[in-house]
Amino acid sequence: MDSKISNNDIQPVAVLGAGSFGTAVANLLAVNSPVYLYARNPEVVEKMKSSREHNGVRLHERITPTNDLQMVVEHCTTLFPVVPSSGFRDLIHKIAPMLHPYHVLIHGTKGLDVQLESDVPFEEQKVTKKQVKTMSEVIRDETVVVRVGALAGPNLATELAQGYPAATVVASPFNEVIQEGIRLLKNDKFQVYGNRDIIGIELCGVLKNIIAIASGGIAGMGMGENSRGLLISRGMMEMMHIGKFFGAEPEAFMGLAGIGDMVTTCYSTYSRNFTVGNRLAKGETLQDILNDMEEVAEGVNTIKIIKKLTESAGLRAPITENLYRVLFENQPVNEAIDTLMKYPFNIDVSMPDRISEAT
Amino acid sequence: MPVESDNYFMQSDESIRQERYKPIIPAPRKWPVVQLSKNSKQFIEEVIDDTFDRIKEVKSTREELIEELETTLYREKLRVKRNPWKVDPPDDAEFWAGLRSELASITGNPDDPAIDDKLDELLKTIISRYANEILSKFKPSSYRFARSFVKTGFTRLLNATHVKGWSALWSKKYTLNDQLHIVGETEHIRTLAQKGTIVLLPTHFSNLDSILIGWVIHSLGLPPFIYGAGLNLFNIGIIAYFMNSLGAYKVDRRKKNLIYIETLKTYSNVALQKGVHSLFFPGGTRARSGHIEKKLKRGLLGSVIDAQRINYEKFPEENRKIFVVPVTINYHFTLEAPALINDHLKMMGQERFYMENDEYATSYKILKFLVKFFTKGSSISVSIGKGMDVLGNYVDDDGHSYDKNGQRIYTREYFMHDKKIERDDQRDAEYTKILSEKVVKEFHKINRVFSSHLVAFTAFKILQKKHPKLDLYNLLRLPDEDQVILYEEFKEEFNFYLDHLKELNKKGEVGFASHMNQDVDKVIKHGVDNVGMYHAKRPLIFTKSGDITSENLNTLFYYHNRMMGYGLEDLK
């Protein structure tokens, strides 16, 4: 195959998906191990090979771009799928026949998978918890792999590429997977924390995108920091309540992947989700914004799913509901903010009841 | 390819009971359980050594070990004093007092260079005591006797009640198999038993289950299984005899200390490694609420995972596989239902300390119970699920595992890290959770809907809907006159749930007893007539006008609970 990898004693690892975050993860991993970076498009692979860079980011010398899934899955026991949630199930389904129970999959996708009923228009769909899956659940669903993990935390690809100090959370019910994540990812400038509550950590990454869109909206309206502080704290409560519905512990939201990632995303103009909200507030339409974004803003899809889900479960999620109206029902941003300000919140903090530990 | 047995749910009771199974291993001396008891000395040594290593691993420092020993000895002192049983060895008090003073003298002399050896020795003495207490005393001769006793005894009782006249006692018209319908993957299990080690995991509703399942194992032609039976059952002379002869080992629920629990787990673990087929009631005790078990005890289930990993580790060249087989047992009538549900309600209602009362604590009572059951009992259905590996993947007749897409899985690979088998207790604990979830799911799938359970469910739901403001406890105290349900209303609701179950049945998510395949009025009548039929106060009866009412809402609630977990409870 490739001399750089086959001559090395260290086990290679693979990143599946060469988006900006996938490339960033591959560069992080390359500090410690040889890395295969899989991209679906052969032209992209060829370009990466010849230019040794991708979307303006230099590829670490230990990265081997490839288009050969079969080879990658055979050579690596630890794989990092990092593709948009809309293509996640397809990718996993594709590699399922090649996977073995000894494989470890640690994904970095911050979206949800939803299986809708065919031939029912989205507006009329009734979405239940059974139809909505986190990415780790998709992996468990589609493959024989049980040792599954998730990456989450304030990891803006642009900043990672610049080599600024940062940290991430590897979540998995398996200690073994957490240790593997730490071994592979940790370096002088990158700290790695472990967490056993994989659903909680995944939801942190998923749900914070909703709040990031709202934060972009507030910034776009030029409303200042008081209102952003208000949004972040109310958003946190909303995330925890939705999280509880999925069986996540509230603690997950307090950590790096929760409050850490949320603050980062809500302040960063690099964030795609933030950008969506920001440009909406300035009067652009959702379609126009999405049309000229190179990569997916997961928050848009997440809002759709969570709105449907909370509706059918009888949960209240005021921020999500209002964003849904802004995004899909042409409600002006300021009206949504008015509604939220009139919403009868009066308790500052009410922790969702602890989900009693299963014994 | 894994075989999806479509016709499995359709099997009629009649076609099943005609079948007779030849023993798969005719010579008792070749039964794994016989091998085990022949070499019991060596077996016990292995259990003691393994347990010792495990405890030393968890309690690795001297201080930790001393603390563990002190706790254990203190608890044993309390047990001997406060809760002695007839079955306890006569030297119990003396033995534990002796160890206490020994420990005191060891710890009183911390400068003794041999202190660690002495502590280890003490630990071994305790483990050895426990291991020998747990040990099953299987004898093929008494197994044969017990088996034929069960068979002829019950056959006679059955005939005495069903066939008129004196000669009935010797009639062969009814056999145990008429009352007992074994359905499901029977041939599959017989095949698997020759390819690996079987772990049967039945649901547990009644004290009768242990004997019943023993009979099922025998009539499937399988060699005897060992199983853990509550030590309290050994207090009862007649049961103790059967238990001993059927390969039961003793589980003492009074002893909750680490050393005992580790010994028990290791016992089961080592037996599995030796290829001895085993039986656990994975729910622990009888399901007091009447629910199909939702949570399984992780301890014994964990030992299955552990044993499988050790097999792969110790015998890399062989494929010594363990197969997990869920089994559900269904009755129209659980004799203990009133006591069980009252316990359950008490436990739910108040979080106060609760003492297990043994309602069948004497030979006389247990005999009366059995007589009542077999003379009055209506049909019982035992449903055998498909074999699974220890991660809950289905296996085929060759014992190979497959995923849901029909792709072969090598179970060994679940225990591999960096291309070799590696022990990781935390991983095993997660695997135990996965297995537990799969078994629970399988219970629901292979469970067969009985008319009696569905009528109870329907009636209770109707009452609940009529009184949405009442909580469970107030609902159970509903005045008699509010309990009457008009027949037409009942039937409509019953049909609603039945349709939903039929949908689930099509997807293979639940089975139906054959008596469900008749017209709805008949099914309802069958259900009302059979549900808890021999309780003094019936869960459901017809009123004179043909409507439906209850004489005892607690037991109605109990039988209703059997249909929980299918999503019926969430239907609007």
Neighbours of A241 (CB within 10 A): 17
| Banded pLDDT at B198 (limits 50, 70, 90) | very high
Interchain contact, B407 vs A144, CB within 8 Å: yes
The predicted complex's ipTM stands at 0.87
Q: Report the C-alpha gap between B201 and B492 in whole angstroms.
A: 36
Q: Report the C-alpha gap between B27 and B21 in whole angstroms.
A: 15
Interchain contact, A101 vs B403, CB within 8 Å: no
For residues B358 and B72, the model is more confident at B72
Selecting from A96, A97, A176 the residue whose C-beta is nearest the C-beta of B424 gives A176
A244 to chain B nearest CA, in Å?
19
pTM, 2 dp: 0.86
Contacts of B410 in chain A (CB under 8 A): 100-101
From the candidates B394, B405, B419, B431, which should be mutated to test the interface with A, based on the most A CB atoms within 10 A? B405
A144 to chain B nearest CA, in Å?
7
pLDDT tens, B324-368? Answer: 999 999 888 777 787 888 888 877 765 433 344 444 455 665 566
Q: How far, CA to CA in Å, does B265 sit from each of B106, B297, B452?
A: 29, 12, 38
Question: Is position A208 annotated as part of the catalytic site?
Answer: yes
CA proximity to A137, closest of A201, A179, A199: A199
| 3 state SS of A209 | helix
Could you tell me how far CA B60 lies from the centroid of its own chain? 35
Interface of B with A in 273-332 (CB under 8 A): 295, 298
Q: How far, CA to CA in Å, does B187 sit from each of A149, B109, B190, B330, B387?
A: 40, 63, 5, 20, 11
pLDDT tens, A112-135? Answer: 999 988 888 888 888 888 899 999
Mean pLDDT computed over every residue of chain B: 83
Q: Report the C-alpha gap between A225 and A21 in whole angstroms.
A: 28
**Whole-angstrom Cα Rg for chain B:** 25
Interchain contact, B413 vs A100, CB within 8 Å: yes
Domains detected in chain B? 37-134 (no CATH), 180-446 (3.40.1130), 448-570 (no CATH)
B414 to chain A nearest CA, in Å?
5
Which residue stretches of B136-206 are H helix? 140-162, 176-179, 186-193
A298 is in an annotated binding site: yes
From the list A133, A186, A208, A244, the catalytic residue is: A208
Q: Report the C-alpha gap between B31 and B279 in whole angstroms.
A: 15
| 3 state SS of B345 | helix
Question: What pLDDT, on a 0 to 100 scale, did the predictor assign at position B249?
Answer: 85
Contacts of A358 in chain B (CB under 8 A): 295, 433
| 3 state SS of B350 | coil
Beta pairing partners, A13: A35
B391 touching A (Cβ < 8 Å): yes
B418 touching A (Cβ < 8 Å): yes
Nearest CA in chain A to B393: A144
Domains detected in chain A? 3-196 (3.40.50.720), 200-342 (1.10.1040.10)
DSSP element (H, E) containing B83: none
Which residue stretches of B26-139 are H helix? 32-38, 40-58, 62-82, 92-107, 115-134
Contacts of B392 in chain A (CB under 8 A): none
A177 to chain B nearest CA, in Å?
9
Question: What pLDDT, on a 0 to 100 scale, did the predictor assign at position A4?
Answer: 47
pLDDT tens, B481-525? Answer: 899 999 999 999 999 999 999 999 999 999 999 889 999 999 999
Amino acid at B312: Y
Question: What pLDDT, on a 0 to 100 scale, did the predictor assign at position B333?
Answer: 77
Q: Tokens representing B141?
A: 């001769």
Residue for token pair 């006793």: B149
Q: Report the C-alpha gap between A163 and A190 in whole angstroms.
A: 9
Q: Does the CA dihedral B288-B380-B333-B489 come out positive or negative?
A: positive
Q: What is the mean pLDDT of residues A162-184?
A: 95
Q: Tokens representing A64?
A: 């081997």
B421 touching A (Cβ < 8 Å): no
Contacts of A102 in chain B (CB under 8 A): 413-414, 416-417, 419
Interchain contact, B295 vs A359, CB within 8 Å: yes
What is the bridge-based pairing of β-strands B322-331 and B197-202?
parallel
CA neighbours within 13 Å on the CB side: how many for B385?
34
Contacts of B418 in chain A (CB under 8 A): 11, 77
Cβ(A4)–Cβ(A61) under 8 Å? yes
Q: Does the CA dihedral B345-B348-B350-B351 come out positive or negative?
A: positive
Q: At what angle do helices B40-58 and B62-82 cross, to 10 degrees?
A: 120
| Banded pLDDT at B395 (limits 50, 70, 90) | very high
| 3 state SS of B566 | coil
A131 to chain B nearest CA, in Å?
15
Q: Tokens representing B438?
A: 């799969």
Nearest CA in chain B to A358: B295
Distant-in-sequence, close-in-space partners of B34: CB < 8 Å, separation ≥ 6: B28, B138, B140
Question: What pLDDT, on a 0 to 100 scale, did the predictor assign at position B242?
Answer: 65
Nearest CA in chain A to B420: A102
Count Cβ–Cβ pairs < 8 Å, chain A vs chain B. 48
Neighbours of B164 (CB within 10 A): 9
Distant-in-sequence, close-in-space partners of B388: CB < 8 Å, separation ≥ 6: B323, B324, B325, B326, B394, B395, B401, B438, B439, B442
Question: What pLDDT, on a 0 to 100 scale, did the predictor assign at position B2?
Answer: 41
pLDDT tens, A295-328? Answer: 888 999 999 999 999 998 888 899 999 999 999 9
